[in-house]
Amino acid sequence: MKSLWNDSDAAQYQGDLDLRVYTSRLLGQDPSLVLHGGGNTSVKITETNLVGDEEEILYVKGSGWDLETIEAAGFAPVRMAHLLKLAKLQSLSDPQMVNELKTQMTNAAAPSPSVETILHATLPYKYVDHTHADAIVSITNTAEGEQRIRSLYGDTVVIIPYVMPGFDLARLCAQRFAAEAHDNTLGMVLMNHGIFSFADSAQLAYQRMIDLVTLAEDYLASKGAWEVPPATAQPSKASIRGSMAALRQDISRVAGFPMILAHQNNNKGLAFAQHPEVSSLSQQGPATPDHVIRTKSTPMLDRDTDGFARHYKEYFDTHAPHAKQPKTMLDPAPRVVLDPELGLCTVGRSAKDAGISADIYDHTIDVILRATALGGFKALPAKDLFDMEYWDLEQAKLNKSGAPPVFAGEVALITGAASGIGKACVEAMLKRGAAVIALDINADITTLHPRKDYCGIPCDISDKEQLNSALETGIKAFGGLDMLVLNAGVFPGGKRIACLEDDEWHQVLKVNLDANLALMRQCHPLLKLAPRNGRVLIMGSKNVLAPGPGAAAYSASKAALIQLMRIAALEWADDGIRINALHPDAVFDTAIWTDEVLAARAAHYGMSVDDYKRKNLLKTEIRSQDVAELAAEMCGPLFAKTTAAQVPIDGGNERVI
């Protein structure tokens, strides 16, 4: 393991807390040490309070902060004197501990202190670092883990048997450390959990962590258990979007609400899913109990014609009997699915959560394979994992989490999504918690929103191969489809029928009608599997209701699309799919309405540009955002009992009325 300490970089950090920030970020940059908020660090600083008294303060990583990006504000300042008194108690419940920690903070605006705050306080060093190093948990998660750790480190580390994080762990660590530590003690290994290092300088505490973990990596390498070569996977060449959508439907049914299912398209995950012993290796538990919530896994080793429901029933009857207990429940759905054809898939209430599970399980695979090569992977007993999952503090998080966004766990596909109304629809859906598959012929669609819940795909929707490929990519990203917004279209220059060429006519119908028919046909089986029933929103036009001269191809294509919508409403109602249409008009904040064009049209009517934008009965301007907000609402619960509706959004048009 390489040390990332840099003298010139470190010189930019002045003071004890700033150096704490610097080395915390160094630890956070290495995912083999820390993943997604895992691990914690602290520093003890003597300060003068408001009334002039000196007191020692423990600055410990606060809840919700990630070591990779932590700032000074991410550390919670807690009075050391009180923490040391708490450490001498015989017992302290977790809710009591949390209350004591919060009431002893010197800054009420700081984040909640780590549950390991008392542990940090009892270690007699200025700087304390804690990580879940892959190398350490690979060794400790074996039958002879403790013996291996003792032979590796001798008496330079204090070894702590597994105890769930909280007061009991802090008390045990304090007792063991007082009895066993000496001048040459460099660290502390918590079995099945991770490792601590400490020193009176930030650099030395960090360097000790690097040195201790490097010893573990070298030990694994000497046993042929570090660079475990991945097996050769046998990928499936068939389309998997139907299987993904069916699996997502079953997982969502088990969870009780829609979930994102992300396909991890990598050889490691597929090879592990095809491992001959995956059924036993994957069911023992996570690499560390800190990951238990996000890496509950199930191997999908059999399928029936109805998808995965039968396997899930068997799995959860066996592994989740606690789901019947009358308490605030974490949903029993897995966060990791291993399938010999699909490979590794991860699950989350959001795309971000599914991504976190993917990152964690990628490292979990390494830990399992290394421990197996070392003699056999052995995780904690089921009781310890159950206690962690239904810990008082985890229950408290559930009770405080609040209602999720309206489209949490759902997936929307939007066409023509790079600009104008389509772009605004993407933003409206993301704001409501949906994951979005965005298609557009503009290549910029890929980078429009750099976030986990957005998948932008360049696609000419009138090209069948491109469309099929885009659907496969999008469904792999999020697992299924709940909402389809058909927005893409072309509006050619005005041309009267007498001058309209066949090629121009057919090109407009190819994009505005034929491509949308193809999308509806291909998305129908996916929408049927939507956990809360599928929804389709057609972006029509005022021209359907009030056509004008010179727009024959556009008006006819949009009118035909609306007729197609009405037929789909009749045919798809039995599948629970509702389909509605919007008819926007005079939406001027789109690419086709340049300042020059607007000025010319306003001049034609003898109006100012501002008056021209409000040339409707209500004298109001219609923006892309207005259309998008209504489109999103029509996919939401307010319109749950409406299908085949056509709603104008035009400020009132005399010809339409």
Catalytic residues: 554
Query: In sequence order, which residues have a C-beta less than 8 Å from that of residue 594 and are 6 or more positions away?
Result: none
CA distance 138 to 614: 67
Q: What Rg, from alpha-carbon coordinates, does the chain have?
A: 30
> What DSSP assignment string belongs to 86-145?
HTTSS---HHHHHHHHHHTBS-TTSPPBPTTHHHHHHS-SSEEEEE--HHHHHHHTBTTH
DSSP secondary-structure letter at 176?
H
In contact, 531 and 253? CB cutoff 8 Å = yes
CA 246 to chain centre: 20
DSSP secondary-structure letter at 62?
B
In contact, 58 and 80? CB cutoff 8 Å = yes
CA 253 to chain centre: 19
Please name the amino acid found at residue 356: I
Roughly how many angstroms between the first and final C-alpha of the chain, as a whole number? Answer: 72
In contact, 628 and 564? CB cutoff 8 Å = no
Run of H or E including 653: none
CA angle, 570 then 571 then 574, to 5°: 95
CA angle, 258 then 264 then 267, to 5°: 155
Strand order in the sheet with 260-264: 260-264, 343-348, 336-339, 297-299
- Kind of pairing, strands 435-440 and 194-199? unpaired
Burial class (CB in 10 A: 0-12, 13-18, 19+), 194: buried
Strand runs labelled E in 132-204: 157-160, 187-190, 194-199
CA distance 400 to 376: 40
CA distance 241 to 248: 10
In contact, 442 and 491? CB cutoff 8 Å = no
* Nearest alpha-carbon partner for 369 in 223, 265, 266: 223
User: 8-36 b/e with 16+ CB inside 10 Å = b?
Assistant: eebeebeebbebbbbbbbbbbebeebbbb
CA distance 119 to 496: 80
